[in-house]
Amino acid sequence: MGTTPDSATPAIEFIGVEKRFAARGKSAEVLAARDIHFRIAEGEVVSIIGPSGCGKSTLLNMGAGLSKPSAGTVKVNGEVVSGPNKHVAFMLQKDLLMPWRTIAQNVEFGLELRGVKAAERQAISERLIVQCHLKGFAAHYPNQLSGGMRQRAAMARTLAVDPLVLLMDEPFSALDAQTKMILQQDLAQTVQRERKTVVFITHDLAEAVALSDRILVMSERPGTIIEEILVDLPDRSNPMQRRKHPQLADYVSRLMALLKLDSQADVH
């Protein structure tokens, strides 16, 4: 899947975006990101990679309406983002489940905030708990679940509000390799089935290739997009199969070169 056609309304779009932060104890500002331009079509999965501190998470915060650009515009579904947006959901490395609520109650939380009636909340929660392979754990509390199961619950909570765009900031980075690959598979199949748009941040280059239609590569701070790579591999809904594809190593090598990484670095 390539770049969004001009005639289509992108699910999310950054137009000339720049972000500056006040430097602690200094009069000068820090330029975190500059001249950010990209558009992502509905149903597309795009990963953003780049050096630590280059502004990747800052972009997601602006996409979610948690932070405003210093210059430029962010749009979701053709509308300028000026604050938290009902079309966008955010999933982080930490699951942020509320420990005093059961898994079902955690999944329903966003629906409660939107005033969805109890019966409808319960039906959505039950469906997603099964879909995210948590059947039998709806009445459990977060501290009774493994890290992988907690991330499944976080994914169910994210999907419950039926967002147009999923913003995902290294959601699997704290998990062991086997659990990570299983959750990648679950995510890919869910995204394909429900035609969700995903902006995915990762430091795992093989993960980016396995999950994505395109990869945006950022420079060091102040971060800007230095390369856009179309991932021309079959069946994005099956990242485990993609990992076995002989061309995956070529993509990873290209990304390593763009990031100026040592050729002996671990590429997962």
Supply the pLDDT for residue 4. Answer: 41
DSSP string, 18-76: EEEEEPTT-SSEEEEEEEEEEEE-TT-EEEEE-STTSSHHHHHHHHTTSS--SEEEEEE
Mind listing the pLDDT tens digit for each residue in 53-64?
899 999 999 999
Supply the pLDDT for residue 209. Answer: 97
For the chain, give every residue range classified as CATH 3.40.50.300: 1-87+167-268
Nearest to 14 by CA among 50, 44, 46, 38: 38
Mind listing the pLDDT tens digit for each residue in 244-261?
999 999 999 999 999 987
For residue 267, pLDDT beyond 80: no
Supply the pLDDT for residue 68. Answer: 94
Could you tell me which residues are beta bridge partners of residue 132? none
Supply the pLDDT for residue 234. Answer: 92
Supply the pLDDT for residue 85. Answer: 86
Mind listing the pLDDT tens digit for each residue in 73-118?
999 999 999 998 889 999 988 889 999 999 999 999 999 999 999 9
Could you tell me which residues are beta bridge partners of residue 118? none
Mind listing the pLDDT tens digit for each residue in 28-50?
788 999 999 999 999 999 999 99
For residue 129, pLDDT beyond 50: yes
- The values of phi and psi at residue 229, to 5°, are -115, 125
Supply the pLDDT for residue 266. Answer: 47
Strand, helix or coil for residue 216: strand
Supply the pTM of this predicted model: 0.89
Supply the pLDDT for residue 2. Answer: 37
Which run of H or E residues covers position 113? helix 103-113
Mind listing the pLDDT tens digit for each residue in 174-223?
888 999 999 999 999 988 988 899 999 999 999 999 999 999 999 999 99
pLDDT category at 125 given cuts 50, 70, 90 is very high
Distance, CA of 40 to CA of 78 (rounded, Å): 11
pLDDT category at 3 given cuts 50, 70, 90 is very low
> Domain 1-87+167-268 falls in which CATH fold?
Rossmann fold (3.40.50)
